[in-house]
């Protein structure tokens, strides 16, 4: 469905691994990452991560993972793709990254870095 505009890494086979860190050290397996989808447009990079678990089971470490992918590939937009049900109430779909600190009382959301949660409903197609 999205193969034309995204690279789709093959993390189960270990093909297409990307590196968080330079390989100048001898720790080539440290920082190996497999974002599910990386857009081919390098000027407006998008990262998409598919989670094969219900939205209620997506936790902080999942959000940190997609943010690390976005940071690594200079992406301003990221997507969480998860299985949804027809009658499921969907939580807020857009999340904006905060900047500032509570210590300085200047926390506000950034308008340019967004993660969108996208629930896909499994539709059985009859031919």
pLDDT of residue 97: 95
**Alpha carbons 37 and 63: distance in angstroms, whole number:** 15
The Cα 45–Cα 27 span in angstroms is: 27
Q: Which two tokens mark 8?
A: 């789709």
Q: In angstroms, rounded to a whole number, what is the distance separating the alpha carbons of residues 127 and 111?
A: 44
- pLDDT value of position 99: 96
Query: How far is Cα 21 from Cα 12, in angstroms, rounded to an integer?
Result: 21
pLDDT, averaged in runs of 10, over the chain (127 residues): 80 79 68 91 94 85 94 95 76 87 96 91 62
The DSSP bridge partners found for residue 32 are 19
Q: What is the pLDDT of residue 57?
A: 86
Give the per-residue pLDDT at 93: 86
Return d(Cα 11, Cα 1) in angstroms, integer: 19
* Strand partners for 31: none
């Amino acid at each position: 469905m999205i193969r034309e505009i995204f690279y789709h890494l093959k993390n189960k086979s270990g093909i297409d691994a990307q590196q968080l860190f330079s390989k100048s050290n001898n720790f080539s397996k440290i920082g190996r990452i497999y974002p599910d989808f990386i857009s081919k447009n390098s000027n407006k990079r998008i990262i998409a991560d598919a989670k094969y678990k219900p939205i209620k089971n997506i936790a902080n470490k999942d959000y940190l993972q997609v943010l690390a992918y976005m940071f690594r590939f200079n992406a301003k937009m990221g997507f969480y793709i998860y299985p949804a049900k027809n009658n499921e109430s969907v939580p807020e779909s857009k999340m904006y990254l905060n900047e500032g600190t509570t210590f300085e009382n200047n926390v506000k959301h950034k308008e340019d870095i967004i993660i969108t949660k996208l629930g896909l409903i499994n539709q059985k197609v009859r031919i």
